[in-house]
Chain A
Amino acid sequence: MSEKILDIKNLKVIFPASSNVIRAVEGIDLTVDKGQCVAIVGESGCGKSVTSMAIMRLLETPPALIQTDALTFDGKELTALSQKEMQNIRGRDISLIFQDALTALNPVMTIGHQLDEVYIRHEKLKKKQAKCKSVESLRLVGVPDPERRYHDYPHQLSGGLRQRVLIAMAFALNPKLMIADEPTTALDVTIQAQVLDLLKIMQKAHKTSLILITHDLSVVSYMADVVYIMYAGKIVEKSPLKPLLRAPLHPYTEGLLASVPGLSGTNGRFIQIPDAVPDPANKPEGCYFHPRCRYCTEQCKTQKPRLTEAGHGRLVRCWYPLGRKEEV
């Protein structure tokens, strides 16, 4: 039984607005084992970024309201900690990589200085020692000529290099858990390959657990051990990677897999999922996915399916999961 580094039970996040309530996250359970890479897959508006912010307790309340049964990190209940204690954990034990490195880095400080800050603040190092460590971190992530680049400002670096700096900052203190929110979406394909490789190497080297948040299933297939598929605030499928790719259970997963154009060609027409992701303020009745589902039945339109076990550590939220003929 592997040890859990993160255990979330029944996380709910809502945003009360003037005329209605936006249900961003509707009671999700999530576990991450030590050293594991867990992917949360979903499109815009599904609640995945809100989830990561809620884990780090970075959600502003107001406007958000959070409720959860348990949010356990490395045995500690995060919700019971004060903001100060939480600040110590952030950056040292849990770190976060954002999508856009340019906005995540301070534009008026050199990258070296920003890296130093991490060491000075958490490990209480002196400036000289911090600089040593920073240069070493830059070298480890493959920044060429790190002593010179130490003095560069974020805008002087390319997107790929900036992302490496973010990775360096995130791994600097050897965190136990790292959350990467769309780390490669803004990058070119070849740079994306480099960055993902780096992430994989660093993760294995430091034995860090990783939560990878993305909409891109091809990235997931390269990195993840376990995949959670989110739709409209709920988890609709959870599965180890290979079974998910070979035989998806939820129609949405099937659709997502089909919309990744493989290099093997699609004979002139792309398989499409009709319509669009529901507005979080205005979700459909019954199963949230039913308006777009090819297999929709009357039951799907009125009754919300529950998350049920499907064997081999898989969970699915559907009345008629693929590959099964009986009702669950």
Chain B
Amino acid sequence: MGEPLILAANLSVDFPVRGALGKKKKVHAVSDVSLTIEKGKTFGLVGESGCGKTTLANLLLGLVKPDAGSILFDGKEITDISQKQLKIVRRDMQMIFQDPLSSLNPRFNIFRIISEPLFIRGGYTRKQMEARVLELLELVGLPASSLHRYPSDFSGGQRQRIGIARALALNPKFLVCDEPVSALDVSVHAQILNLLMDLQKELSITYLFISHNLAVVRDICQSVAVMYLGKVVETGNAQTIFDHPVHPYTQSLLSAVLDVDADNKRERIILQGDIPSPIDLPTGCRFHTRCPNARPECAIHSPELREIESHHRAACY
């Protein structure tokens, strides 16, 4: 068990929203989530749209203040610190985004894009910035001639590399990868994922890997948390969870992943109905409305995360 970089405990956040008749309602984005991210490892966050994984990432990055709970980043409490202190801590955190089109300012050339974090931090001469940018370009496998070109000259995969170079500019300890390959062509996925893994080995960065593509998560992450409607339903070692998923939601997610194996047809568990709204949550266990194993007590009490085996916890009866 390695040293934790991030210790999040009992995080909750709600967003106020105006209901249908002007009544003030709350979107329960994240409810009582705790997790531990080890240094130098990749932590996977899996779930479908609306499950709160993006909000959770924003919480960990300090972009959103939690209503309850605490976050320890490298031993320091970051939930209640001032904006100024937060800015300093944030230099150690960065993010790469899903859409390579909108994550780069089309008016900036590549040099300006990658050097922007350096520029913001200040204290670098032009020569130093150029040297660092060239270093980063080499790191992500892009030619030095890219410096003066514009994002529109590059393909999706290349733009994602530029985004990665920018994220690495200030040598962050923590990198959130928000669906980094979902918007790219399938044949390019492997390139970017391999790059991320190589960079992790070389620079000892800790990743939070957010994805809805379970097969990818399995291969790149050591630990995983599965989220549903703002709560973690299952968490633990990635291999273990994918080999023996315990929570019915995890089981259905895994079975929904299609395989290209012509001969192996797995039993697919199709869930009934739609994902409920995070405003009007189901009572008791949030998953019970779609759960194939639902029992009467599931509608009344929400189950806690219990230890199934070492490094494997699930919230189900």
Interface residues of A (CB under 8 A from B): 43-44, 144, 158-161, 188-194, 197, 215-219, 221-222, 241-242, 245-246, 255-263, 265-266, 268-274, 276-277
Q: List 20 other contacts, CB 8 Å, given A217-B186, A258-B190.
A: A43-B185, A44-B156, A188-B275, A189-B253, A189-B257, A260-B186, A261-B215, A261-B216, A262-B215, A262-B261, A268-B219, A270-B194, A273-B190, A276-B155, A276-B157, A276-B185, A276-B188, A277-B155, A277-B185, A277-B187
Which listed residue (B187, B219, B260, B274) contacts A266, Cβ 8 A? B219
Instruction: Known contacts A270-B219, A272-B194, A276-B155; decide if A188 and B49 are in contact (CB<8 Å).
Output: yes
Q: What is the bound-complex CA distance between A258 and B193, given in angstroms?
A: 14
- In the assembled complex, B130 has its CB within 8 A of some CB on chain A: no
Instruction: Known contacts A144-B273, A192-B256, A241-B262; decide if A44 and B219 are in contact (CB<8 Å).
Output: no
Q: Flag if A274 contacts B186 (CB, 8 Å).
A: no
Q: Quick one: closest B residue to A161, CB to CB? A: B274
Q: Flag if B258 contacts A44 (CB, 8 Å).
A: no
Interfacial chain B residues near A268, Cβ < 8 Å: 197, 219
Interfacial chain B residues near A241, Cβ < 8 Å: 262
- Output the least CB separation between A241 and chain B (Å): 7
Q: What is the bound-complex CA distance between A269 and B192, given in angstroms?
A: 11
Q: Which 8 A-B pairs have the closest CB atoms?
A: A272-B190, A270-B190, A218-B258, A261-B215, A188-B48, A245-B262, A43-B185, A193-B256
Interfacial chain B residues near A218, Cβ < 8 Å: 257-260
Instruction: Known contacts A43-B187, A221-B262, A276-B158; decide if A263 and B257 are in contact (CB<8 Å).
Output: yes
Interfacial chain B residues near A219, Cβ < 8 Å: 258
Interfacial chain A residues near B89, Cβ < 8 Å: none
- In the assembled complex, 8 residue pairs joining A and B whose CB atoms fall closer than 8 Å, in A order, are A158-B274, A190-B253, A221-B259, A221-B260, A262-B261, A266-B219, A270-B190, A276-B157
- In the assembled complex, B218 has its CB within 8 A of some CB on chain A: yes
- Output the least CB separation between A131 and chain B (Å): 24
Interfacial chain A residues near B252, Cβ < 8 Å: 190
Interfacial chain B residues near A144, Cβ < 8 Å: 273-274
Q: What is the bound-complex CA distance between A80 and B301, given in angstroms?
A: 66
- In the assembled complex, B26 has its CB within 8 A of some CB on chain A: no
Give the residue among A193, A194, A241, A274 with the most B Cβ atoms within 10 A.
A193
Q: Quick one: closest B residue to A271, CB to CB? A: B190
- Output the least CB separation between A105 and chain B (Å): 17
CB < 8 Å A-B pair total: 126
- Output the least CB separation between A63 and chain B (Å): 19
- In the assembled complex, B270 has its CB within 8 A of some CB on chain A: yes
Q: Quick one: closest B residue to A42, CB to CB? A: B185
- Output the least CB separation between B200 and chain A (Å): 12
Q: Flag if B260 contacts A190 (CB, 8 Å).
A: no
Q: Flag if A272 contacts B191 (CB, 8 Å).
A: yes
Q: Quick one: closest A residue to B254, CB to CB? A: A263
- Among B258-274, those with CB < 8 Å from A are 258-263, 268, 270-271, 273-274
Interfacial chain B residues near A246, Cβ < 8 Å: 262-263
Q: Flag if B48 contacts A189 (CB, 8 Å).
A: yes
- In the assembled complex, B214 has its CB within 8 A of some CB on chain A: yes
B236-252 to A contact mask, C-beta < 8 Å, 1/0: 00000010000000001
- Output the least CB separation between B222 and chain A (Å): 11
Q: What is the bound-complex CA distance between A315 and B242, given in angstroms?
A: 38
- Output the least CB separation between B88 and chain A (Å): 35
Instruction: Known contacts A260-B260, A276-B155; decide if A193 and B270 are in contact (CB<8 Å).
Output: yes
Interfacial chain A residues near B214, Cβ < 8 Å: 189, 263
Q: What is the bound-complex CA distance between A44 and B185, given in angstroms?
A: 7
- Among B160-186, those with CB < 8 Å from A are 185-186
Instruction: Known contacts A188-B48, A270-B193; decide if A259 and B186 are in contact (CB<8 Å).
Output: yes
Q: Flag if B260 contacts A263 (CB, 8 Å).
A: no
- In the assembled complex, B189 has its CB within 8 A of some CB on chain A: yes
Q: Flag if A194 contacts B270 (CB, 8 Å).
A: yes
Interfacial chain A residues near B132, Cβ < 8 Å: none
Q: Quick one: closest A residue to B275, CB to CB? A: A158
- Output the least CB separation between B239 and chain A (Å): 9
Q: Quick one: closest B residue to A292, CB to CB? A: B187
- Output the least CB separation between A127 and chain B (Å): 28
- In the assembled complex, B65 has its CB within 8 A of some CB on chain A: no
- Output the least CB separation between A117 and chain B (Å): 25
Interfacial chain B residues near A197, Cβ < 8 Å: 270
Q: Flag if A259 contacts B187 (CB, 8 Å).
A: yes
Q: Flag if A257 contacts B155 (CB, 8 Å).
A: no
Q: Flag if A188 contacts B262 (CB, 8 Å).
A: no
Which listed residue (B155, B187, B260, B274) contacts A245, Cβ 8 A? B260
- Output the least CB separation between A64 and chain B (Å): 22
- In the assembled complex, B212 has its CB within 8 A of some CB on chain A: yes
Q: What is the bound-complex CA distance between A148 and B223, given in angstroms?
A: 43
Q: Quick one: closest A residue to B158, CB to CB? A: A276
Interfacial chain A residues near B215, Cβ < 8 Å: 260-263
